[in-house]
Amino acid sequence: MSYIAAFGMEKPVLARTIGEEMDIPLNFLSKIANRLVQAGLLHSVRGKNGGFVLARHPGDIHLSEIVSLFMNLGDIRGCFLGLNRCSTRCTIHKKWTSIVDQFQAIINETTIDQVLKTGECREAKSLKGGKTHE
């Protein structure tokens, strides 16, 4: 998502380009992209100049919306050791709960545009010659 956002919202980015630049096999990428389209986070544009664009402004897309599509966040709230019941006396319980709370706070508060501000996606684009559409 941040790779697509790095190119702006004007022109679609080809799945092939995303796959090559992010080192994601095309068949796996298509499954990911399909789920993102169904969730209303991406638009799929068909045709010669087709590809993918963000459905909303990057500042309006929280990481939690993306993560929740691929991960059941309720599962990580359970016992770290996978036990059906977890006692608050467990030595890991408090630490694990703190980690989960921090993780959820980060993904709830962070948007795609904030990820872009680190510049990593933009740097990757310029290092690879800025390929956007092939």
pLDDT digits (tens, 9 = 90+) for 30-54: 999 999 999 999 999 888 878 899 9
Q: Would the pLDDT of 128 be above 50?
A: no
Instruction: Return the residue matching tokens 């959820």.
Output: 104
In a domain, 126, yes or no: yes
Average pLDDT over the chain, rounded to an integer:
83
Q: How many domains does the chain have?
A: 2
In a domain, 115, yes or no: no
Q: What is the arithmetic mean of pLDDT over 70-87?
A: 79
Q: Where are the beta strands (DSSP E) in 17-92?
A: 42-45, 51-54
Of the chain, the percentage scoring pLDDT greater than 70 comes to 86
Domain carrying residue 44: 1-57+120-134
> What pLDDT does 131 receive?
45
> What pLDDT does 119 receive?
54
pLDDT in tens, 6-17: 877 778 999 999
> Using CA atoms, how far apart are residues 67 and 20, in angstroms rounded to an integer?
22
Q: What is the arithmetic mean of pLDDT over 68-93?
A: 80
What confidence category does residue 88 fall into, taking pLDDT thresholds of 50, 70 and 90? low
Instruction: Return the residue matching tokens 């459905």.
Output: 55
Residues 33 and 67 in one domain: no
- Structure-derived torsion over alpha carbons of residues 5, 45, 70, 110, reported in degrees to the nearest 10: 20
Residues 53 and 72 in one domain: no
Q: What is the arithmetic mean of pLDDT over 118-125?
A: 52
Residues 98 and 70 in one domain: yes
Residues 46 and 2 in one domain: yes
Distance of CA 64 to CAs 9, 10, 68, 109, 126, Å? 21, 24, 6, 8, 28
Looking at residue 55, the DSSP 8-state letter turns out to be S
Residues 43 and 19 in one domain: yes
